[in-house]
Structures are given as C-alpha cells and as structure tokens.
Structure 1
Amino acid sequence: MSGLPELTETNFVGKVSIVTGGGSGIGAAVADRLSKLGSKVVIVDTDEKAGQSVADAVDCDFTNFDVADLAGWEKLVAETVEQYGTLDFLCLNAGIGSRPRGSSVKDDPIPWILPNYKNVLAVNIDGVVYGAMAALPLMEKQGSGSILVTASVAGIRTQPPDPIYALSKSAVISFVRSVAPALAERGVRINALCPGSVDTPIQPDDRRLEGRPMSPPEEMADAIGRILISGDNGGIWIASSSDYPVWRYEFASAIDGPPS
C-alpha cells in the first residue's frame, strides 16, 4: 500500500482515539478497526441510536454532539483526557452532502445548493477545523498526535452532482496541506484520505442500482489506520478503487510561471 506501514497492535495498544461520524460507514469501520487493534475509542455522531449501536458492537465510548459546535469539541477533548489521560489519534470523518436522500446523480443540483449550503460547510469544514484546533493544545503539550481528515476525490476533481460537497472537501484538503507545517512544529501530524466511491449511506441510490463498483468501508478504515501511524505529514492520500493501492497525491504547481 504505497509504502504505508502494516497495522499491528503495537501501534495502538494503550492509545486513545476519537472518531467522528462513527455511527455508520467509514467512521464505524474505523472505530471497529482501531478498537480491535487495542486502542480506546470514542466515537461521535448526531444519530444517537446508530452511534450507541456501533459503540456497543465494537466496545467503545459514544458521545452525541454536532461537530460544528466548538464548545462541544472542547468539552469532548477535556472529558476524553479526564477519562483516559491522553488523545493520540483524531479521525475527523464526519461529513454530509447537499443532495437529499433518494435523489439521483442526474438531478439538477442548483435547487438545493442554497438551502443546504451552510449546513454542509458547517459539518464538513467547521467540524474539521474545530476538531483539529480543540485537540491541538493537548497534543502539543504531550508532544505527539496524529490527525486524519476524511476528504474525498471530489475535492480534487469536479463533482457536478454535488458542488457544495466538492467545495467543502477542496477546503479541507487545502487546510490540511497548509496547516501541516505549523502542526509539525508542535509535534503533531495531519493528513487527509480522499476516497472514491465507498459503500456508505451518503451514496445516491441510483449508483447502487446501476451496480457501480464501490469500495467497502473496511478498506478505508485500513488505509486510515496506516496513514495515522505512517509518520507522514500534510499528505493527501487517494483511495479511488479497490483495484489500486492507496497512494500519495502530488499536486502539480505552475504558480510561478508556465512549464517550459
């Protein structure tokens, strides 16, 4: 997997992880993977029933709050430290799209851009920035910490069916790349994983009906675990298909002039 380390209990036993969006999809798979590797896991979700169900199944803690709430983040980090004494891994996975459930990728996205714009950006952008900044003082104090943001290939290429989702994912990719040097000075690493089509509730139904290939959430959980312990910083990792390994995306730049 592009030089990423193998997952072993050595890297996770005695460690503490927070996973947002842990009530389903990639977040639930990450919680299960890290818990089985020996990490103490706290999952976050706004769906109390789903979140508690996952927590019971994978033997982890659950807290119900909106990731766009900075005060909620500060409270969560404080409570996690009070209970476990540390926070080693932060998986900022919670995300939503602007398309209504049941809509088709062929539907015109314009009618739901303004009604859903602020909510999508609050969850997908504020939830990342607030989470990272709430955890940073603790991680800086302990001199270590690894943050993983679940972005999307939609943040790199065009995504006509959901422009606001694409906007939010482009934003967090830029945030990860730009904030990484400052975090490194504090002993903290941050990276992003950009999945392609993954079999999660956010996927439109017509993609399933068409039989389009989708990666299982468990593959993304494996990639996230490996990136968390990779030692990389500011990396944007692509996981576009089960047929290809996860690979580090390198951005071409012609800002200083056109190629010769």
Structure 2
Amino acid sequence: MNSNRRQFLKNTALFSAALLCSRHVCARTSNSPRACSLRGGLQANGIEMFRTSGNSDLDRSINLELTHIAESFKVLPGFGFYDDSDGQNAFALDEDLIPNTKGTVIFGKQLLSDELASNEWGGLAVAGIMAHEFGHIFQYQSKFYSLLTQSQSTDRLLELHADYLAGYYLGLKRLRSGEIDIKAFVDSLYLLGDNDFNSPDHHGTPIEREQVMLAGYKIGLTNNSDIQQVAEMGMNLVITI
C-alpha cells in the first residue's frame, strides 16, 4: 500500500469518528458558497446539527456509505442531521464545523425518512443525495467551483455537475454492491428538478438532471478512479447542455 493510500485511510478513520458529530449550531457566513437547496428555500443560519438520525442501525449503514463516498471523491467533510420538518433539504457548506474534517454536509431527517419509505430502493436515493452533496464539497475544494460559477446567474451548472458526480458514485456502488435499481435515484432527481430558469437557485430541469446523472453513472461503471478526470468530463458535459 503506498503512503498516499495509507494517509487517506488514516484520515478516513478520523472522518468516520467525526461523521455523526455532536450537537452543534452552525451558521453560514456571507462569504460561503450558496447552500444546495434540494427542496424549498431553507436557510443555513442557526441550524442545529445532531449526531444521529435516531436509529443506531441506520447510523451505522449511513456511516459506511459516507466513508465509501468520501474515498471516491477524496474529500473528508463532517456530516450531521437536522430537523427539516419545515422543508425537506440537504446541503453542503464550505465550512469546517467538526474537528478533523473539511467542509460540512447536513442531511434533513424528514428527507431521509421519506426517501427510505418511498420504495425498497429508497436507500439508494439517499446514497445518491449524499453523493450529490459530497460532490459540492469536492467542487468547493477544487477548481471546479469557480469554473462552474463564473459569469453564471444561477446555480444550474454547479448543480448539474454535482448530479453527474452523484451518478458516477452510484456507478462505482453498482460495481461494488451488485445489482441496484438506478431508477430510484432517477425518480428522486426528476422530482427535484425545476423550470425556474431565472432563479439563482435553479438546479436544472428534470430531464437535464436525469441526463447528466445517467452519464456519470455510465462513467462509474468503467471503474475510473481518477476523480479529477471524472469531474473534468462532467464539466465538459454540463456546459454543453
């Protein structure tokens, strides 16, 4: 095992311990990138972040999934849950709120519950949403955030690129886990698309989100482990749509 691999696994061990963090209050600073709003207009200010979903078995499964996503994207964000009963959401922040992590992903408990209950593959949709948010963390920590936001009046390119990265991760997951029903995440993305073309929070149309996610999924099935190369391919795709 090479030294870079050993160091990443060491960092991942620290990451796993910090994933389900202690209760914490976070506030997005004015200089932070705009939060990814999957549903509704939830503000990031003053949100309480909790260490558990409320189900210890589910927490262990989520922790394992997050470790796989982190290794695939070469990022180590903190992760927690919050009460999204007033509007389902999950989002990524370019803030280090938990020791030994870089960036933070927060997942709504109601969003988690509803996705899991949606069908037998609801867990796959949850994995896809988490991968989408980790995709934003990767963007923040690489050249892609500035490249995808410069001269843009909406978040569309940034969001479509994160969809591509989420699809890529699910392709890797398919290779690792065996048969999965990608339609579960396709359906989730389709519902989360919008036609608010002039809104700063525009995420892309339902068809666009489905298209780029499936393109990323196909790349994941090739087992390409070079996340920088994959992200470049994704950027080249979304800027042409």
| TM-score of the pair, normalised by structure 1 | 0.30
Structure number with bigger Rg? 1
| Structure number with higher strand proportion | 1
